[in-house]
Amino acid sequence: MSESSDNQPVDLKNLTPDALMQFLSGMGKEKFRTVQIMRWIYQRGVTAFADMTDLAKSFREALNQRATISSFTPETVEVSSDGTRKYLFRLHDGRSVETVLIPMESGRNTLCISTQVGCAMQCSFCLTGKYGLERDLTTAEIVNQVCAVRKDRSIDNIVLMGMGEPLHNLDNVVNALQILYAATGFDYGPRKVTLSTSGLVPEMAELGRRIKVNLAVSLNATTDAVRDELMPINKRYPLQTLMEACRQFPLASRQRITFEYILIRGVNDSQADAKRLVKLLHGIKAKVNLIPFNEHSGSELQTPDEQTIRAFQTYLLDRQIVAIRRVGKGLDISAACGQLKAKQLL
Ligand code: SAH
Ligand code: SF4
């Protein structure tokens, strides 16, 4: 993104390191200025050019004319009994976005960020999907979730699993990842960041070409008939097409694709499903996250009983498939998977 034609000030948080360098070279500034400014913005959390004390006063004033640095302050922070923290940020147009910090047993914190206000994909089990798509988040709005939460808690891992379909907002998501990865930005290694998609096949290939990131795919079914019902995107990119895209996705050695599989009672939780799942994953470096469905009033679907969940997991484990059971975190504050934005709906 570059300076807009109507000479509106540019929000520097919308610029990747390369774009920032171009912007500054347009002002006649040297390369190392990018490093200085990136550090002020991302490592020291500064939002006023006046505070960038190692820049000449005239340069700071010139920046003030042409640029801004946006920031988020949480409007509310809800804390779950399990320690999960849900932040609500108000956007400049009055819309809002939610971000969830999940403390892991290891003592590390995972931050779950949103990429859109709402989501267009209309998965039948997901409350965010019911809400529909309002708009994409800008690069700055994606990055600002991380900036704001870092002032409150340390963040070890980042997952793009909040509201929205990240690959439906690919350009801004890739820009945001570049800022997260930049040594002068947040310096997160690509191994620390996971992007989850409902399976937009052409965009998966595009993502793989453009940037490194851990990929998670919300699979949730083992037949097209069931997946069509749960996730309408499957009608466009059915299972075989999706699995082929996964096979083609570039992986580093020892890296795997995560397949998220919500277990729903009587829908996708049978032993026959487990058997088909093993077949589908054949030849893919995969691990499976089993997520017992989080029941909510927007859906009739139910979570399976304990025995069925265990039997499903055991079937996979017995066939050397890494299958981890995920527990719903932050359920009491509607911070769990698929529950973001729920309160406004109910
Ligand atoms: N749109 C992307 C990223 C959002 S991730 C995607 O779908 O992958 C949201 C995750 O929450 C998805 O893995 C989805 O399968 C899961 N989810 C949605 N509703 C849920 C529910 N009611 N119970 C459990 N998981 C749910
Ligand atoms: Fe969108 Fe993901 Fe929810 Fe489907 S599961 S509606 S893609 S957020």
Query: How many CB atoms neighbour CB 266 within 10 A?
Result: 10
262, pLDDT greater than 50: yes
Cα 119 to averaged position of ligand 2 atoms, centre (Å): 6
pLDDT band at 62 (very low <50, low <70, confident <90, very high): very high
Class (C level, CATH) for 10-68:
mainly alpha
pLDDT of residue 327: 78
How do strand 96-103 and strand 109-112 relate by DSSP bridges? antiparallel
With a Cβ cut-off of 6 Å, ligand 2 is lined by 119, 121-123, 126, 128-129, 165, 198, 218, 338
- Look at residue 98 in the predicted model and tell me its pLDDT: 94
Would you state the pLDDT for residue 340?
66
- Residue 34 to residue 31: CA distance in whole angstroms: 6
Quote the mean pLDDT of the chain. 93
Residues of the chain with pLDDT > 90: what percent? 87
Q: How far is the CA of 123 from the centre of ligand 2 (A)?
A: 6
Residue with tokens 């030849």: 283
Q: Phi and psi (nearest 5°) for 277?
A: -65, -45
Share of the chain above pLDDT 70, in %: 94
| Mean pLDDT computed over 124-135 | 89
In the set 112, 119, 246, 337, the catalytic residue is: 337
- Whether the CB-CB separation of 119 and 133 falls below 8 Å is answered with yes
CA-nearest residue for atom 4, ligand 2, is 123
pLDDT at 2: 46
Domain boundaries, the chain: 10-68, 74-345
User: Given a cut of 90, is residue 305 above it in pLDDT?
Assistant: yes
pLDDT at 271 over 60: yes
Catalytic residue, chosen from 98, 165, 203, 260, is: 98
* Pocket residue to mutate for ligand 2, from 117, 218, 237, most atoms within 8 A of Cβ: 218
Confirm whether 337 is a catalytic residue. Answer: yes
pLDDT tier at 5 (50, 70, 90 boundaries)? low
Arithmetic mean of pLDDT, 211-220: 98
Give the Cβ contact number of residue 214 at 10 Å.
21
State residue 298's pLDDT score.
Answer: 84
23 CA to middle of ligand 1, Å? Answer: 38
Reported as a pLDDT band with limits 50, 70 and 90, residue 280 is very high
**Among the ranges given (282-286, 296-300, 315-319), the one the predictor scored with the smallest mean pLDDT:** 296-300
Alpha carbon nearest to ligand 2 atom 6, residue: 129
Residue 192 pLDDT > 50? yes
Q: Is 165 in the pocket of ligand 1 (CB under 6 A)?
A: yes
Whether the predicted pLDDT of 346 surpasses 50? no
pLDDT of residue 292: 94
Q: Model confidence at 336, in pLDDT bands (50, 70, 90)?
A: low
Neighbouring-strand partners of residue 100: 86, 112
Question: Which of the four CATH numbers 3.30.70.920, 3.20.20.70, 1.20.1440.230, 3.40.640.10 does domain 74-345 have?
Answer: 3.20.20.70
Q: Give the number of other Cβ atoms within 10 Å of residue 62's Cβ.
A: 16
Q: 128 pLDDT band (50/70/90 cuts)?
A: confident
Asked whether the beta carbons of 303 and 292 are under 8 A apart, the reply is: yes
Distances (CA, A) of 76 to 38, 96, 110, 140, 143: 28, 11, 19, 20, 18
User: Does residue 123 carry a catalytic annotation?
Assistant: no
pLDDT, tens digit, for every residue of 9-60?
A: 999 999 999 999 999 999 999 999 999 999 999 999 999 999 999 999 999 9
Whether the Cβ atoms of residue 115 and residue 166 lie closer than 8 Å to each other: yes
* SS3 assignment for 144-157: HHHHHHHCCCCCCE
Q: How confident is the model at residue 338 (pLDDT cuts 50, 70, 90)?
A: low
Residue nearest to atom 5 of ligand 1 (CA): 161
Q: Average pLDDT for residues 277-304, to the nearest whole number?
A: 94
User: pLDDT at residue 339 above 80?
Assistant: no
pLDDT at 105: 87
Ligand 1 atom closest to residue 119's alpha carbon, by position in its atom list: 1
Residue 73 · residue 56 · CB < 8 Å: no
The count of C-alpha atoms lying within 13 angstroms of the C-alpha of 229, restricted to the half-sphere facing its C-beta, is 9
For residue 147, the CA-to-ligand 2 centroid distance in Å is: 24
pLDDT level of residue 3 (50, 70, 90 thresholds):
very low
